[in-house]
Structure 1
Amino acid sequence: MGQGQQEKVATSLAGTVGEEISASLAPVDAELAARYPGDPGTRQPVHTVYVPGDLLTADTVRSWGDQALAALDEHAPDAASLAAVLGLSDDLAGPVHDRVRAKLRQEPVEDLRVDFEDGYGHRADAEEDHAAARAARLVARAYADGTAPPYTGIRMKCMEAAVRDRGIRTLDVFLTGLMEAGGLPGGLVLTLPKVTYPEQVTAMVRLLDAFERAHGLAPGRIGFEIQIETSQAILAADGTATVARMIQAAEGRATGLHYGTFDYSACLGVSAAHQASDHPAADHAKAVMQVAAAGTGVRVSDGSTNVLPVGPTAQVHAAWRLHYGLTRRALARAYYQGWDMHPGHLPTRYAAVFAFYREGLAAAAARLARYAERATGDVMDEPATAKALSGYLLRGLDCGALDLAEVTGLTGLDRAGLEAFATPRRGDLTASAG
């Protein structure tokens, strides 16, 4: 054919066929968009710290950071000693140790949950009212003076009959206190524990809807996490995955699924000595949670360890190795968040997170750079892989494991460029998927 001459292509189907197919799939298109909007693209904290409602103070976060730094000073005062405990390579030891110390000084806690459930227990109504109102004042003040973690909120009591009214009242007192102090902070997070039936999630939705209407807030303003602590939350009596139905029952308000290590293990009859986040029962539950949440914008969080890094140095080191190993294991399984129950867990939380992102930085950046330039290499990546690579780098940036200058230097992409690859259009991911 001559240059510029358009080739004639033969087809067999009438144009109406495509139109009819599109019309028939319109409901499916709408459902896909509604049920699976994708990751929200916001920062996910690497952990959640739980503090009993009556123990919260204005300096709780700073105190946790100071205690964690003191533990480092006593049990791993330099990079070499921390590397020896955790098995860090020579090239990672210095950067990880330095970044851990900087993190503990600047932002020791990323997500704080004031606990009015198991960590608080049953108190007189007047006492819990006072503690909830006080928590609201302290949280509002922390956001006002800039000392609050990026995310803060409460865990109320569950929707079971015995504690339902108390949980609803505590939530009302806390949220009302925030409104009276100037409004709901942007980093507000609520946790609904021990959910067993989707109807309990629906009840939480109705509760928050009523609060929003009472204060003239935008519908859907308040989201919440669903805590998975019972077998019924994973598998319903009819054999369906309850957790998937819970996400839908939340009507777009669910922000996370949090695994409750010890309640869930006990529910299945796992003996106390073997209740841990790496038990096969835990792996099964989190795998179901992960599949149910995929694409919905709801994030999955691992649970905690109850082995505390306290006592003589040898005992602290053993607890640190356990926590570090569990955290690294979770990260490899795409559980990017977990619970920390003691200040001594912070050094190994951040050491594990920082090592995870720093040791993979060069390879991930090189692959993303090749993809961005459409260059050839020993791996042929697709849009979905580019999404994973950019998401990896963004998570590393958000927590402080990586610096934007070094990521940009290796990829040629600024943050906006990274975010563009991390949140591609649905068609971009499926067009060449294999």
Structure 2
Amino acid sequence: MLKRAGGAAMPDGSGGTTLADAVRERIGARLAATDAELARRYPGDPGTRQPVHTVYVPADAFAEDTVRSWGDQALAALDAHAPDAAALAGVLGLPADVAGTVHERVRAKLRREPVEDLRIDFEDGYGNRPDAEEDAAAVAAARTVTAVVAAGTAPPYLGIRMKCLEAAVRDRGIRTLDLFLTGLLAGGGLPDGLVLTLPKVTFPEQVAAMAALCGEFERAAGLPNGRIRFEIQIETTQAILGPDGAAGVPRLIDAAGGRATALHYGTFDYSAACGVGAAHQSPDHPVADFAKAVMQAAAAGTGVRLSDGSTNVLPVGPTERVHAAWRLHYGLVRRALARAYYQGWDMHPGHLPTRYAAVYAYYREGLDATAARLAAYVARTGGEVLDEPATARALSGDLLRGLDCGALDPAEVTGRTGLGPADLAALAGRPAR
């Protein structure tokens, strides 16, 4: 007879153990603090919708009709330069089997929800103004946000980019943030989709100061602790590689104390900081790829999301020039999607058609293969690819993102996989929505 170390006899052939239960218990106790730290630092995906883009509008240009105006301008550009599916396919090289659906869904999106995330910009897009002028703009921004939220015309996500916390503009940035948030409270409260952006971060102490600032406002306004969170813009080389040679991004996330929601790559500030010439500053430059790879590794598992930067090539002028800009933008968005950067910046209404065309084509081109692989995984029937749980998370995550942005419909996803949104969320490791 085999015996366990604890002394209980085991039937022949049934196996046995050598270690006493107390050993397992001691190992568990030894790793309890590590378990807690893993859960704190790496909680996983937050389970909420991630916008496919962020639109930046100077604070003095933001108005109640801004979102509708962008949608109308984007539709006009589409009508003028790619009025039907064949024309859009010819410009962007869309496969024939998805071109019609993509063109139709892009038009519907531009009518229904042309902007998913909008940032009222008090930083580079606004510049330095007299204090009285910026005060008035901050108050007006709060009133306008309150109005569009009440009217049901606000994008799902909306907020401001304040000035950074460097000494020269620190007081101005804090005052603008205070005026904006106070104005929102006076108008009825902070909207669910509120997003704040902290630019030009260099050291973790600046992020910690922003977190402290949010906490102070919450206490003063009687808000729940942690209600106010923010994005961190990665625009400086020091944010990527610190003076001691260590990666800076994990320290920035940690310094936020759980308030960081996303990391946004700043194409032009970061490229310029690396000495890249103006003609070569682009989201696909090698310095950009390096920075974004560091951001990606640092954010993985933390619940902090990623956003690519923008292109400054605008689709304006004659059709030939618009088409060239569209092809560039479409290619950059598709490249980012393949690299798991599911969000990016758009700086002009003319970028909206190619943003949505790229996103919709990406998810629709992969729908059949993604759904088939996921269905085979769930049914344990195998197939041409042997997928693991980690791949199932990725497959279901792709389908959820496609549903969120309107590229896919629930019926076609369920019809191909047999899975509903709650099933997909469970496979993706997200909280049920």
TM-score (norm 1): 0.96
Deviation, structure 1 residue 8: 3.0
Deviation, structure 1 residue 396: 0.2
Amino acid at match of 1:232: Q
Aligned counterpart for 2:396 among listed residues 375, 390, 397:
390
Aligned counterpart for 1:369 among listed residues 356, 365, 375:
375
Deviation, structure 1 residue 7: 5.7
Amino acid at match of 2:367: L
Q: Is the 8 A contact 1:133 1:177 kept in 2?
A: yes
Secondary structure class of the residue paired with 1:227 = strand
Secondary structure class of the residue paired with 1:54 = helix
Amino acid at match of 1:163: V
Per mean C-alpha deviation after superposition, the further-off stretch among 19-28 and 311-320 is: 19-28
**Matched residues in 1 for 2:382 and 2:257: separation?**
44
Aligned counterpart for 1:137 among listed residues 135, 139, 143:
143
**What are the equivalent positions in structure 2 for 1:302-317 lying under 5 Å apart?**
302-317=308-323
- What is the Cα-based RMSD across aligned positions, in Å? 1.1
Q: Is the 8 A contact 1:277 1:305 kept in 2?
A: yes
TM-score (norm 2): 0.96
Tell me the alpha carbon deviations over residues 233-271 of structure 1, each in whole angstroms, 9 at most, x when there is no partner.
Answer: 000000111111000000100000000000000001000
Q: Is the 8 A contact 2:45 2:430 kept in 1?
A: no
Q: What's the counterpart of residue 191 of structure 2?
A: 185
Aligned counterpart for 1:63 among listed residues 69, 74, 77:
69
Amino acid at match of 2:127: G
2:13 is the alignment partner of 1:30: no
**Matched residues in 1 for 2:343 and 2:27: separation?**
42
Aligned counterpart for 1:268 among listed residues 268, 274, 287:
274
Q: Is the 8 A contact 1:407 1:413 kept in 2?
A: yes
**Matched residues in 2 for 1:6 and 1:100: separation?**
67
Q: What's the counterpart of residue 207 of structure 1?
A: 213
Q: What's the counterpart of residue 21 of structure 2?
A: 15
Deviation, structure 1 residue 14: 1.1
Deviation, structure 1 residue 344: 0.1
Deviation, structure 1 residue 129: 0.5
1:119 to 1:424, Cα distance in 2 relative to 1, 3 A? closer
Tell me the percent identity.
Answer: 75
Aligned counterpart for 1:403 among listed residues 399, 409, 416:
409
Structure 1: state its 5+ residue gaps: 426-434
Q: Is the 8 A contact 1:38 1:297 kept in 2?
A: yes
**Matched residues in 2 for 1:121 and 1:102: separation?**
35
Q: What's the counterpart of residue 80 of structure 1?
A: 86
Deviation, structure 1 residue 424: 6.6
Q: Is the 8 A contact 1:157 1:163 kept in 2?
A: yes
Amino acid at match of 1:29: D
Tell me the alpha carbon deviations over residues 261-306 of structure 1, each in whole angstroms, 9 at most, x when there is no partner.
Answer: 0000000100000000000000000000000000000001000000
Structure 2: state its 5+ residue gaps: 1-10
**Matched residues in 1 for 2:223 and 2:13: separation?**
58
Amino acid at match of 2:55: V
Q: Is the 8 A contact 1:387 1:424 kept in 2?
A: no
Q: Is the 8 A contact 2:326 2:351 kept in 1?
A: yes
Aligned counterpart for 1:412 among listed residues 405, 411, 418:
418
**Matched residues in 2 for 1:7 and 1:146: separation?**
68
Deviation, structure 1 residue 6: 9.8
Per mean C-alpha deviation after superposition, the further-off stretch among 308-317 and 15-24 is: 15-24
Q: What's the counterpart of residue 248 of structure 2?
A: 242
Aligned length: 421
Amino acid at match of 1:273: A
**Matched residues in 2 for 1:216 and 1:411: separation?**
46
